[in-house]
């Protein structure tokens, strides 16, 4: 589904991603871990099409199509979704209207009928309940004044409603207490299906107890320095990141 090949990306002339290759097939859940500043969010945002990053080399294919040539909204229409590490507050834009507009824009782009207000409300009512989210948040401006946890739930609500083919969750676990974490994880697990793929970006292993990944990759200084199964996450939990970084540093110097 997603094929990233030798991806290099810079911001303001600094190279952040230094040759990432990663293949994610339908039905798989991949976790991307790594220390702060290693480029996890950059990778997620480059896939989503954020304007700050310049791709200097490499390719990102999504269902065989080059994502890098698409505008952010076209990537969304193709089925890419990124839950933001820091969701944006948008004063003056009603959360429910926003979500309905987003859903209908995607449906329209795919040649599906748009939902009217009634259909939309019945669709989200259940999702809100599943996420144990305060329905009042729907009638507030997007993310404005939401607590950290409310913002993260709102991201997951959007994901649940938009039901993307590829969901990238950037540190969705940060700022959540254990109950909220479980609820959010259930939301993500509900999306798991043979047609979909999920990339979970996280700093801690904790979330991976609830969203069990098929593969774990460790990102360090803009490169994937190790890949493995779910046991890699446990090893990282025990030993930290430094042993991997120590092991890989000489290689980096040689390269």
Ligand X SMILES: Nc1ncnc2c1ncn2[C@@H]1O[C@H](COP(=O)(O)OP(=O)(O)O)[C@@H](O)[C@H]1O
Nearer to ligand X, 19 or 27 (CB): 19
Nearer to ligand X, 103 or 201 (CB): 201
Given candidates 6, 52, 71, 239, which one binds ligand X under the rule CB under 6 A? 52
Given candidates 37, 126, 148, 228, which one binds ligand X under the rule CB under 6 A? 37
Ranges within 56-85 binding Mg ion (CB under 5 A): 85
Q: Which does 37 bind (CB under 5 to 8 A by kind): Mg ion, ligand X, other proteins, none?
A: ligand X
The minimum distance between CB 48 and ligand X, in angstroms, equals: 12
Given candidates 102, 123, 190, 212, which one binds other proteins under the rule CB under 8 A? 102
**Distance (Å, whole) CA 70 – CA 65:** 9
SS3 labels along 85-97: CCCCCEEEEEHHH
Q: Taking CB under 8 A as the rule, does residue 82 contact other proteins?
A: yes
Nearer to ligand X, 53 or 81 (CB): 53
Strand-by-strand arrangement of the 29-33 sheet: 80-83, 166-170, 197-201, 29-33, 215-220, 223-228
What is the SS3 assignment for 164? coil
How many Cβ atoms are within 10 Å of 21's Cβ, its own excluded?
13
Cα angle at 83 between 77 and 88, to 5 degrees? 100
Residues 184-206 as b or e (16 or more Cβ within 10 Å = b): bbebbeebbeeebbbbbbbbebb
Q: Which residues here bind other proteins, judged by CB under 8 A? A: 48-51, 71-73, 75-77, 81-82, 84, 87-88, 90-94, 96-106, 109, 114, 117, 141-142, 158, 162
Q: Which residues here bind ligand X, judged by CB under 6 A? A: 11-12, 16, 34, 36-42, 52
């Amino acid at each position: 589904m997603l094929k990233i090949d030798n991806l290099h990306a810079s911001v303001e002339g600094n190279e952040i991603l230094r040759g990432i290759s990663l293949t994610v097939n339908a039905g798989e859940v991949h976790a991307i871990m790594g220390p702060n500043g290693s480029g996890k969010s950059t990778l997620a945002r480059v896939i989503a099409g954020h304007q700050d990053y310049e791709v200097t080399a490499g390719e990102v294919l999504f269902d065989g199509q080059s994502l890098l040539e698409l505008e952010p909204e076209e990537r969304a229409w193709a089925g890419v979704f990124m839950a933001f590490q820091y969701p944006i507050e948008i004063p003056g834009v009603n959360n429910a209207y926003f979500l309905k507009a987003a859903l209908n824009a995607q449906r329209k782009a795919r040649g599906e009928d748009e939902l009217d207000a009634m259909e939309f409300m019945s669709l989200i009512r259940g999702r809100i309940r599943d996420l144990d989210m305060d329905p009042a948040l729907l009638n507030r401006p997007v993310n404005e004044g939401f607590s950290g946890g409310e913002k993260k739930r709102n991201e997951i609500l959007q994901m649940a409603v938009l039901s993307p083919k590829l969901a990238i969750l950037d540190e969705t676990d940060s700022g959540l207490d254990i109950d909220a974490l479980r609820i959010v994880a259930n939301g993500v697990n509900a999306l798991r299906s043979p047609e979909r793929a999920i990339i979970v970006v996280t700093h801690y292993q904790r979330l991976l107890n609830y969203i069990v990944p098929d593969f774990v990759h460790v990102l360090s200084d803009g490169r994937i320095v190790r890949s493995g199964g779910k046991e890699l996450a446990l090893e990282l939990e025990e030993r930290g990141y430094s042993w991997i970084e120590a092991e890989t540093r000489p290689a980096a110097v040689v390269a």
